[in-house]
Amino acid sequence: MTGPLEGVLVADFSRVLAGPLCTMTLADLGATVVKVERPGSGDDTRSWGPPWSATSSTYFESVNRSKLSAALDLSDPGDLALAQELARRADVLVENFRPGALDRLGLGYEHVAAANPGVVYCSVTGFGSGEGSDLLGYDFVVQAVGGLMSITGDAGGEPTKAGVALVDVLTGKDAAVGVLAALTERARTGRGCRVEVNLLSSLLGSLVNQAQSCLETGRSPERMGNRHPSIAPYETLRCRDGLLAVACGNDGQFTRLAAALGRPELADDARFATNAARVGHRAELVTALERLLAADESAVWQQRLTEAGVPAGKVGTVADGFALAERLGLSPTVTPAGGTPVPRHAATYSTGLVRPPTPPPALGADDSLVRAWLSEPGSPPVRRPTNENEVTS
């Protein structure tokens, strides 16, 4: 299996998370990705541990499978020439250097496009390449200044970051979408283009209803813990042994919830009969529901409410999430030959478009292969071979 991007060469000049997640997605779909790293240290995330993997860190491994690693010192004229040749041959170049840094090395968009007019050149920044070009774009900082932390956490408590570098993840996915769109346009016109994504814009675009509420009303939303600003009950509720997430998205689901709890008359109570009424009387509603839920354990209620057609789930761990996906037959991981399990490419395709992965590379693992290829004009791209039969799900 090769994937729909077979034959597409990606020069990956990115590091940390957003850019590498983009290029890993392209690799999953069959592209040959050459990851350019600093000799000696490599991508910053190789040292972001514990926990550690066999070759670096689990952080690095999470976004760098199925790539080739070449250690090129961009301050060395010989290595810089090889990097420029890689950019000249690439179909796609992804970078997240500070704006202007690659221009000084002859690797900026104008330089690369002059020699390679068909290149799709994707720049990932924190705050854009204009007025925000001097600002340092780290996920945590963008969560803070972009407003995500202001709506995350308990009401009255401190603003809280998400439990994962969510803005980087969203930006990486936006970058992959942008690259695929540009490749589709190139197939029609023969022309490449520059794709620019930045963390702040990806964050603001991801705030959906919360963003639109702010734009429509002029008021910023506030932290509500696990509660939803527009729906009730849509939050965690305490049972005998712990928390249960209950998500009633309409009045019919609330009617079924009330019946499953043995209090069908709650659905006729004027305070709870409609979603708007329930939002307005949320405190009374939660008190009534938790009094009933205290009669049994969260796992028992999850089963009862699910059978009644009410979306509900016991609050679990990351391990619980993987275990659930396994029980549901979703095959949440794949294991590259000679590697350890990794989360699989999230989409599935009826025609099997995802290429079996190879393990994340050790620093400079493919250095000699890449250098030899770049030194030979007209030679085909190199790619570490995969054995589809050795990849397990």
Average pLDDT estimate for 111-118: 97
Average pLDDT estimate for 7-27: 97
Structural tokens at position 177: 């979408």
Q: Which residues of 295-311 are buried (b: 16+ CB within 10 A; e: fewer)?
A: eeebebbbeebeebebe
Structural tokens at position 178: 């942008």
Distance CA 382, CA 366 (A): 9
Determine if the peptide bond prior to 336 is cis (ω within 30°).
no
Average pLDDT estimate for 92-103: 96
Helix (H) or strand (E) holding 28: helix 18-28
pLDDT at 55: 80
pLDDT at 53: 87
Q: Which DSSP letter does residue 20 get?
A: H
3-state DSSP assignment of residue 149: helix
Angle of CA points 13, 90, 11, to nearest 5°: 20
CATH code assigned to 9-206+335-390: 3.40.50.10540
Instruction: Between 370 and 379, name the one with better pLDDT.
Output: 370
| Residue from 28, 168, 174, 366 carrying the catalytic annotation | 168
* pTM score, whole prediction: 0.92
3-state DSSP assignment of residue 100: coil
Share of the chain above pLDDT 90, in %: 90
Average pLDDT estimate for 300-308: 97
Distance CA 176, CA 139 (A): 18
- The rounded mean pLDDT for the chain is 94
Superfamily of domain 234-322: formyl-coa transferase, domain 3 (3.30.1540.10)
Q: Which residues of 259-279 are buried (b: 16+ CB within 10 A; e: fewer)?
A: ebbeeeebbebeebeebebbb
Band the pLDDT of 172: cuts 50, 70, 90. very high
Instruction: Between 339 and 118, name the one with better pLDDT.
Output: 118
Average pLDDT estimate for 187-202: 97
3-state helix, strand, coil in the chain (%, to 5): 40, 15, 45
Band the pLDDT of 189: cuts 50, 70, 90. very high
pLDDT at 385: 47
Residue 393 pLDDT exceeds 50: no
- Per residue in 218-246, pLDDT (tens digit) is 999 999 999 999 999 999 999 999 999 99
pLDDT at 380: 61
Q: Is 196 exposed, middle or buried (0-12, 13-18, 19+ CB in 10 A)?
A: middle
Residue 99 pLDDT exceeds 70: yes
pLDDT at 388: 45
3-state DSSP assignment of residue 15: coil
Tell me which residue of 232, 224, 309, 315 sits closest to 266, measured CA to CA: 232
Residue ranges covered by each domain of the chain: 9-206+335-390, 234-322
Residue 303: CA count within 13 A, CB half-sphere? 4
Tell me which residue of 70, 71, 52 sits closest to 62, measured CA to CA: 52
Band the pLDDT of 386: cuts 50, 70, 90. low
Residue 390 pLDDT exceeds 60: no
Distance CA 230, CA 210 (A): 10
Neighbours of 204 (CB within 10 A): 18
Distance CA 120, CA 126 (A): 20
What is the identity of the amino acid at 218? G
Q: Which residues pair with 236 in a beta bridge?
A: 245
- Per residue in 333-359, pLDDT (tens digit) is 999 988 889 999 999 999 888 989 999
Residue 306 pLDDT exceeds 60: yes
Average pLDDT estimate for 114-136: 95
Is there a shared CATH topology between the 9-206+335-390 domain and the 234-322 domain?
no
Band the pLDDT of 54: cuts 50, 70, 90. confident
Q: Which DSSP letter does residue 345 get?
A: P
Please say if 269 is a catalytic residue: no
pLDDT at 352: 83
pLDDT at 79: 97
Residues 6 or more apart whose Cβ sits within 8 Å of residue 141: 126
pLDDT at 383: 58
Tell me, rounded to whole angstroms, the distance of Cα 108 from its chain centroid. Answer: 26
